[in-house]
Structure 1
Amino acid sequence: MFEEVYDQFIQRHLASRTGERRGRLERGHRHAESLFLRNVWWPLRGNLEHLHPEYEVLDWRGRTYFADFAWLPGHVKLIIEVKGYAAHVREMDRHKYCNELNRETFLHAMGYQVISFAYDDVEQHPQLCMTLLQMVLSRYLSNQTPASRASFAEKEIIRFAIQCAGPIRPKDVERHLDVNHKPAVLMLKRLCAQGWLLPSYRGNGERIVRYELAPGVWNYLD
């Protein structure tokens, strides 16, 4: 299924491009980019909608730059890069390093969010990449049903727990999400049932006072 959709995806973009934009797609879309789609994007999303390979933008000097991917569903502008160690570390000199940082800062100023994945993780730890990518995308995906709103809130609780780097209390969630005590506790209990959080009991073990990330979650994110 992926191969068929992927081939149609590339052919559609090739047919819509001319000149250097077409040439860049023919030359620049290589193994790392296709592996990212196969191992990370497709298992997570199940489609290639709103993705643009070898997406042309201008840098702060007005020079053309081709990002590996842009995800452009409406008002969202997300740039995705897959970076190999050799090209982005071992062969990087000071001038290239400065240019890369300046480009990312400029793109941010232009309304793009830039996220990068290491090729080694895309190849060897795709589940980690999927988890991190899902955390990014969930901030932009529309939530039109009560179930999706609950799912979004639960993902935000996980992000909040990671940021706190320690146990969280129901009152912390209430303040962070601006919700009442009962829905905060229900979401925390659901996350415990899903294996994301562990409850911490007080006294004789009947009352839960706080929640912390399950050890396996930290291993999953390492």
Structure 2
Amino acid sequence: MFEKEYEIFWNEQVRLAQGQRLEMLRRDLTGTKKLMEEVLLPVLGTFEGLELEFEMISLSGMKIFGDVCHPKLRIVFEEDSFVTHAEKITRDRFSFERARARSVAMLGYTYFPYSRDELEKKPSFCQRNLYEWIGRFGNTQGAWLLELPVYEREVLRFAMLCNKPFQVREVSQWLQLKRDACGKILRKLVEKGLVLPIGGGLARSHKFMFTEKAVTLLHGKN
């Protein structure tokens, strides 16, 4: 049953993909498939809402990909083989992987990696970890947003759907407000520590990203 469902899911992902993501989907996804069979499908009960080889833009502006992402839950799942991610990794690759994990966090996603050994030897433990995270997230989802003024709340709602740093002009499109008004809203979010400006000033259309505080609030942690 799993094999058939996975094949249908994979084919649909390929049909909708293009460019580098399409190339990634056509690689050997044995580890990703194991992750979905042992953890994601048993816990979530469906492939709906999941995306394979989820494309993001890193802090350095490069394209990076998460093995599996659930955009609605803002969580990126990874399957890491010890051989390819630890035993035979170069120093440059090790540094790249750390920077990649930071980029995922700064984009507002929870980074949720599993080792191949865990998936093969401790699938129940892996499932329990995810159950606990979803339970914690589900009890608090959206509560902190309700404490914010409506425009600040909407900026963060839209930003959560964006997989890269955003600009003032994008906020203007989201809220249908003039640039000056959006600038004031963003300043409030910066003052509250929920958004971090990247270079320049509001007049120069610099970009913004979630801060660690925003990610912590999003996930309902103290």
Question: Same fold by TM (over 0.5)?
Answer: yes
Query: How far 1:40 sits from its partner (Å)?
Result: 1.4
* Secondary structure in 2 matching 1:49: coil
Query: How far 1:130 sits from its partner (Å)?
Result: 0.3
TM-score by length of 1: 0.59
Query: How far 1:141 sits from its partner (Å)?
Result: 3.2
Aligned position for 1:130: 127
Aligned position for 1:22: 22
* Secondary structure in 1 matching 2:137: coil
Aligned position for 2:10: 10
- The gaps in structure 2 that reach 5 residues or longer are 141-222
Query: How far 1:17 sits from its partner (Å)?
Result: 1.2
Distance 1:61 1:83 in 2: 23
* Secondary structure in 2 matching 1:102: helix
1:79 matched to 2:76 = yes
* Percent pairwise identity: 23
Letter in 2 for 1:16: L
Distance 1:22 1:46 in 2: 26
Distance 2:20 2:103 in 1: 23
Query: How far 1:142 sits from its partner (Å)?
Result: 6.4
Distance 1:70 1:15 in 2: 17
Aligned position for 2:62: 63
Aligned position for 1:51: 50
TM-score by length of 2: 0.59
Query: How far 1:140 sits from its partner (Å)?
Result: 2.9
* Secondary structure in 2 matching 1:138: helix
Distance 2:139 2:49 in 1: 14
Query: How far 1:102 sits from its partner (Å)?
Result: 1.6
- The gaps in structure 1 that reach 5 residues or longer are 144-222
Paired residue total: 141
* Secondary structure in 1 matching 2:48: coil
Greater RCO (CA < 8 Å, at least 6 residues apart): 2
Distance 1:52 1:64 in 2: 16
Query: How far 1:38 sits from its partner (Å)?
Result: 1.0
Aligned position for 1:33: 32
